[in-house]
A and B are shown apart, each in its own frame.
Chain A
């Protein structure tokens, strides 16, 4: 089987929105000797690009976009990243993102969609989960030398924690090293500006665009 054919099969698996099929095809690609980086770039990535275009054209719904991204994310996290580590390769990533829903807030669906889309797009995502204390964001940024810190808040009562994070980054002398993205229902562009964040996106697709912009990727 030619590598072109298997890349095509990977892309089609993503377009079927079926995670099992994506995992199975990814395994097959690895067994055939294809490199994990190539599988992401030429196979899964191509499929996701088509999914994104279909979504933009209104041919498929948000759920399809999320299903495709999560399927690709699972293949990357469960199969390809371990393989990269095993081969001691350096993964070409678009950037490192530390992600989490802020302390006091357990509304994480938006954050999870952002995680799936960022991972599937090629970012290295370190997801801290929900109800994440400020100090955990800070230590993860230090540990990973992240490019972006992305914090979400759904409640108006928890949005101020985003400001606490920025203040803590300043206190630790990290503010210049990391860009801060904020999102969630309680958040707006005005709020992002008020607390001194670097950017805000109203939805998951917007978050990916914003992350790319921050990393100066076209």
Chain B
């Protein structure tokens, strides 16, 4: 009698286990289907959100390439990628901009500044990089690009702060004597889409860090873990070589030395 009872129990147990296994299998298949559907749906939502976050691209009135504002028409081309929130860009700009501007003014260099926005995530959601860069493009329309970028660097906010607001960005321009066209250009967020496109173009050109500088299309590179002063030195070397190759001998050969020496102390404080 006891044996029969055991057998009954055993059969029940086997059935229970079978049922359990069946349920587990069902759960796994259903679960997989739910997750697969979720990934597809979320992907579609993502693309829709992304397109919604994409702004209209208005080409600048100032001379430009797909991602840069162009100054001068000299034989040697310098491409400079900057994000106005990037502290190293400020340092780099401070060390080279004067000489570069002079070379542009003398007709030796075509300077293409790419105002890209790679640090948008570091301004507490205000997208300072995009806002400041598009304001700089507004200034370019007024012929004041280099003056305005100098002001942006002089007033550079710290990373992970909200940065200057649009009114303050406008004031930097009106202080330079720019008028209503500039103010409304900033207020209308006119070039935000263009700046985003410039940033995408830069990424396609493998530039995802700033400052990045090219001389005649050749990227200025230094060994890893060297500071910005090494980049400045290498840049000046590359630039001088390119100028010489183009048959230009300038006084700037001696000028940068004094410049670098002076700025090296300033550079030290921002190193690491």
Asked if chains A and B come from one complex, the reply is no
Seen from chain A, the residues whose Cβ lies within 8 Å of a Cβ on chain B are none
